[in-house]
Amino acid sequence: MSNILIAGGTGLIGTHLTQKLLAKGHQLSLLSRKKRNIKGVKNVQWDVNKGTIDDAAFENVDHIINLAGAGIADGRWTEKYKKILLDSRNKSADLFHDELNKRNIQLKSYVTASAIGYYGDRKDEWLKETSASNGKGFMVDCCEQWEAAGGQMKSVSDRLVTLRIGIVLSTQGGALTKMLPSYSAFVGSYFGNGQQYYSWIHIDDMVDLIIYSIENKELNGTYNAVSPNPVNNKIFAQAIGKALDKTALILPVPSFALRLAMGEMADVVLNSNRVSADKIVASGFQFRFPELVGALRDVVGRKV
């Protein structure tokens, strides 16, 4: 089994990932600013802003999984919060690179998160890993810088896997938890004209894909971490009602109202990303939840 160091292991994806890696018998070290007691996991302290990390992080390390980063939707996109979003992603890669270089350590793999926001607003265009960004908006800039920071890890790792992650379906965090409450009153919402594409992935498939990236030695480069079946926002809203077995009234939230309420952050819900999963499927990865209604029914039913 491998020795794996995880940054961002206490977030939505990281929490699920930690439990599954432990169940598979891997040795885990979890980076945190505070001391944490997680059974079976070695806690290692670091501070990205100060550029410090305990030596214990690099003892017999084989792989690093970097999910670190402040939440995109956890604060209004002021200039101050934009800097937090950028620094929390870019500085972690810088720190890993410098510390591994200093210790002359070569990893077997470095797996880093990115996001489908990389592509920008693209209407109904199918987006593959070779598709360039449209160069417009903070999300695009954030993802481009994020991936550039991760790119330097090629010099200290045999493999670099960058995962452009879509909407992660879970009832324990993320976008879905903000959408579900209104359905208890039989009302749902779509944003703008509802035609923008949402590319999504079940939390279990997301975790499996990260583990696949560690265990499959052939995987190298950038991969879209999305299900094979993106849908537009209006269909997404209707699918939640179906998954809950509720006949919900689906109402529009106008774009101008979202812009007033959210500012530039409205791009998160108004941009269209019709993202292809062809490359990861061609590598041999099999999605357990490729269809939206089935995926929603599972996460709601199991409360995962």
Residues pairing with 65 in the sheet: 6, 111
For the residues 64-89, what does the mean pLDDT come to? 94
Task: Please state the three-class secondary structure of 72-141 as a single string.
Answer: CCCCCCCHHHHHHHHHHHHHHHHHHHHHHHHHCCCECEEEEEEEHHHHCCCCCCEECCCCCCCCCCHHHH
pLDDT digits (tens, 9 = 90+) for 215-256: 999 999 999 999 999 999 999 999 999 999 999 999 999 999
According to the model, what pLDDT value does residue 84 have? 95
According to the model, what pLDDT value does residue 1 have? 80
Topology (CATH level 3) of domain 3-166+202-225+273-287? Rossmann fold (3.40.50)
Residue with tokens 């890696």: 21
Q: pLDDT band at residue 127, thresholds of 50, 70 and 90? A: very high
Global pTM value? 0.96
Residue-range domain boundaries for the chain:
3-166+202-225+273-287
pLDDT digits (tens, 9 = 90+) for 155-204: 999 999 999 999 999 999 999 999 999 999 999 999 999 999 999 999 99
**69 CB neighbour count, 10 Å cutoff:** 24
According to the model, what pLDDT value does residue 144 have? 97
Q: What amino acid occupies position 297?
A: R
According to the model, what pLDDT value does residue 257 have? 96
According to the model, what pLDDT value does residue 37 have? 78
For the residues 279-303, what does the mean pLDDT come to? 98
Are 175 and 134 a contacting pair, CB within 8 Å? no
Query: Is a pLDDT exceeding 90 seen at residue 135?
Result: no
- The pLDDT > 70 percentage for the chain reads 100
Query: Is a pLDDT exceeding 80 seen at residue 36?
Result: no
Query: Is a pLDDT exceeding 90 seen at residue 34?
Result: no
For the residues 2-12, what does the mean pLDDT come to? 94
Are 190 and 250 a contacting pair, CB within 8 Å? yes
Query: Is a pLDDT exceeding 90 seen at residue 35?
Result: no
Query: Is a pLDDT exceeding 90 seen at residue 262?
Result: yes
Q: Average pLDDT, whole number, for the chain?
A: 96
Are 153 and 114 a contacting pair, CB within 8 Å? no
For the residues 75-84, what does the mean pLDDT come to? 94
For the residues 11-32, what does the mean pLDDT come to? 95
According to the model, what pLDDT value does residue 74 have? 87
